[in-house]
Structure 1
Amino acid sequence: MQLSSTCACKSHAQLDFQLLICHLPVLYGISAVCDGGQTRSQPMEGKAISVGVLCIQGAFIEHIHKLTEISKQNEIPITVTEVRRPDQLSSLDGLIIPGGESTTLSVFLKKNDFEECLKSWICNEQHPGVVWGTCAGLILLADELTGQKKGGQVTIGGLKVQCSRNTFGRQMDSFESTIKLKHPPLYEATPPTPPSYIQPLNEDECHGVFIRAPGILKINDPSVTVLATQGENVVAVQQDHIIATTFHPELTNDTRWHMYFVNQIAQRKERKGQ
């Protein structure tokens, strides 16, 4: 199928600091149209799952690629919204908060009235929403944060863990590693072939990319489930509808994390009767 898109590159320089964001995701050969910051995989049958990706900084376009890829491969109707305004949250079934610079994200959220809207969306028990924070997204979701910059930063909270910024070191200490999956639904599918410099993966392993990664120092409530570890380090957790990873699954060729996220949304919608 030929790629069809009405997307074009636009400048969003008015959002308190200059942003130049391209609206033309690579859609892996699937026909799509973009309208108002939404990517809709077509044609699909059934009710679509509406997923938002917070598009402020970080690898948000890679998350969009992964969602589009699993939509095509699994024939799941997924509508992806590039979220840059608080009023875009209300219609979402799920939200991804990508990595980036956590202090910069905090400044944006505070100045653009996002902070309280995000907290309300995440805490709304009547809504089937699932939120997934990767890297800096984990920092924003953690209830307890150590190693804050002077003056502190915005934390949305909700996830009962203690988190530390730059646990694995600074940018130059970024690394890639094999991760052990601890939650069976994550390794139901066969893992993809990793890069040549990573050892072949067992079914309960995945390839992890750690970039100035935060750490999960302590789990503060039994409701938090460990999803994955790297050596002795907890690197992925879930508490009900909140998922967090210290690493970047979107920067690998593995779609299992995004598939798990979408399945969590579908199951929650079903339980809520929506």
Structure 2
Amino acid sequence: MAGEPKVGVLAVQGAFREHRRHLEALGARVNEVRLPGDLSGLSGLVMPGGESTSMARLLSDFGLWAPLRDFHARGGVLWGTCAGAILLARSVEGAPPQFGGHQDSLGLMDMNVRRNAFGRQVDSFSVPLTVQGLEAPFPALFIRAPVLTDLGPDVERLAQHDGQTVMARQGRMLASAFHPELTEDRRLHGLFLDLVSEYQPVKSP
């Protein structure tokens, strides 16, 4: 698949292996990203579900904040799922008290994210979700899921649940509040790869 774009999965914490499995099953070349140099040669990056405060701390430890922003500025496609969506947002509500109510984020996508909006781990649920661009409902799995609020004018709502936005797109960025990597349905991974193909290649630093 030498002619296919190469994509990455942020692999500092969370369900990155599951994303990699789906992307490779669709024929993508996939690189696990833990250090800034791992972004070299990539056209897109998935930021997985996990624990967003732990991810934010590890992004600081590995010096990834600025390289991730630069990767997007040079043309890279980003998809954040659950915790990854939180990392994309302009602002975040509901950070734990031990963090002073503040949650670091990339500030790239013009939206606010409210953490744990659908409850705790025990409140997890799956629902058939109507997603723009998919012909049939997607089996969306919500685990301590956030909601996307205060969408900017350039942010397109792709899916809602109970009147709340749970998937959106802004240019070369996708955000989903649920966990597509924990299902066997690869259609959203296919949409991500279509977006990567649309925007490649990424400019060299």
TM (norm. structure 2) is 0.92
How many Å apart are 1:270 and its aligned residue? 7.1
Cα distance in 1 for partners of 2:195, 2:56 equals: 27
TM (norm. structure 1) is 0.70
1:183-230 CA-to-partner distances (Å, cap 9, x unmatched) read 23x33xxxxxxxxxxxxxxx2x110101111111221x2211111122
Alignment equivalent of 2:197, drawn from 246, 254, 266: 266
Contact map agreement 1:178 1:230 (CA 8 A) in 2: no
Alignment partner of 1:143 is 2:90? yes
Alignment equivalent of 1:134, drawn from 81, 86, 104: 81
For residue 10 of structure 1, what is the aligned residue in structure 2? none
For residue 21 of structure 2, what is the aligned residue in structure 1? 65
How many Å apart are 1:123 and its aligned residue? 2.3
Cα distance in 1 for partners of 2:201, 2:78 equals: 17
For residue 103 of structure 1, what is the aligned residue in structure 2? 53
Cα distance in 2 for partners of 1:162, 1:176 equals: 23
How many Å apart are 1:271 and its aligned residue? 11
1:78-114 CA-to-partner distances (Å, cap 9, x unmatched) read 2100111111113110000001111100110112111
The AA in structure 1 aligned to 2:139 is H
For residue 9 of structure 2, what is the aligned residue in structure 1? 53
Cα distance in 2 for partners of 1:154, 1:116 equals: 13
The AA in structure 2 aligned to 1:49 is P
Change (3 A) 1:138 1:271: closer
SS at match of 1:169: coil
Alignment partner of 1:211 is 2:143? yes
SS at match of 1:154: coil
SS at match of 1:52: strand
Rg larger in 1 or in 2?
1
Alignment of 1:240-255 (within 5 A): 240-255=171-186
The AA in structure 1 aligned to 2:7 is V
Contact map agreement 2:42 2:202 (CA 8 A) in 1: no
Higher relative contact order (CA 8 A, sep 6+): 2
- Percent identical among aligned pairs is 40
SS at match of 2:104: coil
Alignment partner of 1:225 is 2:175? no
Alignment of 1:7-86 (within 5 A): 44=1, 47-71=3-27, 78-86=28-36
Contact map agreement 1:110 1:154 (CA 8 A) in 2: no
Gaps of 5+ in 1: 1-43, 72-77, 188-202
Give the aligned CA root-mean-square deviation in angstroms. 1.6
Gaps of 5+ in 2: none
Change (3 A) 1:270 1:84: closer
